[in-house]
Structure 1
Amino acid sequence: MASSAPYRGVFPVAPTVFDADGRLDLDGQRRAVDCMIDAGSDGLCILANFSEQFVLTDAERDQVLDCVLEHVAGRVPVIVTTTHFGSHVCAERSKRAQDAGAAMVMVMPPYHGATFRVPEPQIYAFFKTVSDAIDIPIMVQDAPVAGTPLSVPFLAKMAKEIEHLSYFKIEVPFAAAKLRALIEEGGDAIVGPWDGEEAITLMADLDAGATGAMTGGAYADGIRQIIDPYVAGDREAAATAYERWLPLINYENRQCGLAACKALMKEGGVIRHETLRAPLPPLHPATRAGLIEIARRLDPVVLRWGK
C-alpha cells in the first residue's frame, strides 16, 4: 500500500529504547526503526502509549522525536503522538512535530487519571485548537484508556468541520461496527479509518472498511501478509495469513502488552536491552518464553535482523 497521503497500510508503533538503567538509548532507537522499516512498515508511529510516552520527560520526547525523524530521513512517513490534557500544550507539541518532519499527529481526547474529563464542546474546541496550529493531518485515537466516549455522530461532525482532523484509530470494543458506522456517517471526511489494538480485530476491521493498521512494532512483515492480499482482492489468502499470525497477535495483546516488541527485538539482536522504564515491571520469564516460542514458528524479520 502506498505510503503517501492519504496514508494507508501498516504503521506500527516504535518502542522507546532504554539502556539497562532506563536511560534513553538513541543508538538502539535507530536500530529499532531500521528493523521496522526493513520488515516492511509503510510508516511508523512514535511517542504513543506503546512507546511508553507517559514515562518520558518533555526533553526526552524532543530527543526521541528529533532522533527518529532525522534517522528516518523521509524513508517512510512518521506519525507523532502529541497527546496532552492542555489544548495549547497539545497544539505546541503538534507544531513542534510538524516542524521536525512529522507526516501526521495522533491525539487522544483530553483526559487525566480516572475522573478528569471534559464534555463534547470542550473536546471539539481542543481538537480545533490543535488543527489551527498545524497543516498536517490529525488522527483521533479512540481507545478505552481515555475513558472518554466518542460517539460516531460526534466524530463525524469533527471530521466534517475541523480542517485537518480526518484519521481515526478505533480500538474500542466492537471496533468494526464503529468503523463501519463512522465511514457511513462521515463520508469523504473520513480519510483514514484505521485499526489498532495490535491488530487483534484486523480482519473484521478490514471488512468494515479500515484502510490502515497501527500495530505493535515487532512484526510489520506479518501484518503485511494479511493486509496486502486483502487489498489486492484475495480475502481468502488474507484470512489464511490472519489465522497463522493470530496466535502471536493474541499473545502480544493479552499476555505481554507493550513489552512484547522489546522482547522480540532483544531476542533478535536488534536492541541490547528490553528495559521497560520503572515502575513498569519486566515480563515474567515464562511469559517471555511463550512469546518467543510462538514467534519462532512464524520466523519474523525481527528475530533474524540483528544476527
Structure 2
Amino acid sequence: MKLDHTATGVYAIAATPFHPDGRLDTVSVDRLTDFYLGCGVSGLTILGIMGEAPKLDPQESLAITRQVVKRAGVPVIVGVSAPGFAAMRSLARGAMDIGAQGVMIAPPPSLRTDDQIIGYYAQAVEAIGEDIPFVIQDYPLTLTVVMTPGVIQKIVNNHPSCVMLKHEDWPGLEKISRLRAAQKASEMRDISILCGNGGLFLDFEMERGADGAMTGYAFPDMLVDVVNFQQAGNREAAHDLFDAHLPLVRYEQQQGVGLAIRKYVLKKRGAIASDSQRKPAGSISERAKAEIDYLLSRVARYDKRAAFRT
C-alpha cells in the first residue's frame, strides 16, 4: 500500500546508527527499528535531516531503506531531497521499488519567491513520477524557505500525489488552522498534517487539527501517548505528560547539537549501541551530558520511562 492523506499517529524520524569510526551500524539499524515499533509508532521516516542523509552515499541510502522496510511492518517514508533531480529520482524510484510507502521532499534553500517554490515542486513531481506519494517538508527555521498557506494549497491542489505536510513552521499554529479551514471550505484537497520541530508545540498542534507528529524526539512513546490522549479527547492527560517532558524537548532543540543530544538519550534507552555521528558532526560536552541526565531524572518523576542509572 502507498501513503495517502489518511495517515495519522506518530511517524518517528529515525536516526541513522554509526560505529565510532563512521561505518554504518547495521545491527543497530534493526535494534533502533524495533525500539520505534515498541514505542507504538504508526510509521517511520528515514533519511531525513536527523538521519544524516547527506552523509550517506546512494548505495548506503538504499541499503538502509531495504533493511528498515523489511523489518518495520509499518509504513516507511524516505527522505529523497537532493541537490539535483537525477539523484532524487534515483532514490525515490529505488526506495519505492524496495517497498517504501512514500517519499519526503524538502525545498532547497535557494528558493525565495512563491512562484519558485511552486515551480520547484512541479519539477520534482515530474522527475520522480506522479505515481509516488510525497510529503512536503515545511521547515523554514533550517531550510530558510518560507511557504505560506496559499503556496501549500497550490502545491497540494496541483499535485494529487501530494498527500502529507510535514509542518515545522514556527510560529505555526495559525498555519495549521488556515490549512484546515481551506480543506473545510473545499479550497484544498484533504491531506495529512504531521508536525515536527522536535514535538515542541505538539500539545496545541493537535488541538489545531494536526493528525500527529513526525519528529525525532528521543521519547517517541511520549509523542504516541500525547497524540492518543488528544485524539481521545483527554486534553488534561495530554498536557500533563507533555509538560513533564517539555524541558528535555526544549534542550534537544538547540541548533547544532540537537542530534548529539538525541543520540545520547537513544543510547541510554538501549536503542543504539553508539551515539556516534558521521563526520562532520556536532558533539556535546561532559557537562552537557550531566545536564541531560539531570533533566531525565526530573522527567522520571512523572514518566518512569525516563528513569535510568547514570
TM-score w.r.t. the length of structure 1 is 0.88
Q: Equivalences for 1:1-307 in 2 at 5 Å? A: 6-72=6-72, 74=73, 76-111=74-109, 119-130=116-127, 132-135=129-132, 137-144=133-140, 145-187=142-184, 189-254=189-254, 256-296=257-297, 297-298=299-300, 301=305
Q: 1:266 to 1:222 in 2, by over 3 A?
A: same
Structure 2 runs not aligned, ≥5 long: none
Amino acid of the residue matched to residue 195 of structure 1? C
Tell me the SS of whatever aligns to 1:258.
helix
Per-residue CA distance 1:222-257 (angstroms, 9 max, x = gap): 112211111001112111111112112111113741
Amino acid of the residue matched to residue 156 of structure 1? Q
Tell me the SS of whatever aligns to 2:272.
coil
Per-residue CA distance 1:197-235 (angstroms, 9 max, x = gap): 111011221121100201215211111221111100111
Percent of aligned pairs sharing the same letter: 27
Amino acid of the residue matched to residue 203 of structure 2? M
Distance in 2, matches of 1:303 and 1:81, equals 33
Distance in 2, matches of 1:134 and 1:303, equals 45
Q: 1:134 to 1:156 in 2, by over 3 A?
A: same
Kept in 2: contact 1:85–1:111 (CA 8 A):
no
Kept in 2: contact 1:131–1:162 (CA 8 A):
no
Tell me the SS of whatever aligns to 1:210.
coil
After the TM superposition, list the runs of 4 or more consecutive aligned residues in structure 1 that deviate by more than 6 angstroms: none
Kept in 2: contact 1:81–1:107 (CA 8 A):
yes
In the TM superposition, residue 30 of structure 1 has moved relative to its aligned partner by 0.9
Q: 1:124 to 1:270 in 2, by over 3 A?
A: closer
Supply the RMSD in Å over aligned alpha carbons. Answer: 2.6
Number of corresponding residues: 298
Distance in 2, matches of 1:273 and 1:19, equals 6
Q: 1:134 to 1:301 in 2, by over 3 A?
A: farther
Tell me the SS of whatever aligns to 2:137.
strand
Structure 1 runs not aligned, ≥5 long: none
Distance in 2, matches of 1:196 and 1:14, equals 12
In the TM superposition, residue 70 of structure 1 has moved relative to its aligned partner by 1.6
Per-residue CA distance 1:270-300 (angstroms, 9 max, x = gap): 3221101112132211112222332243356
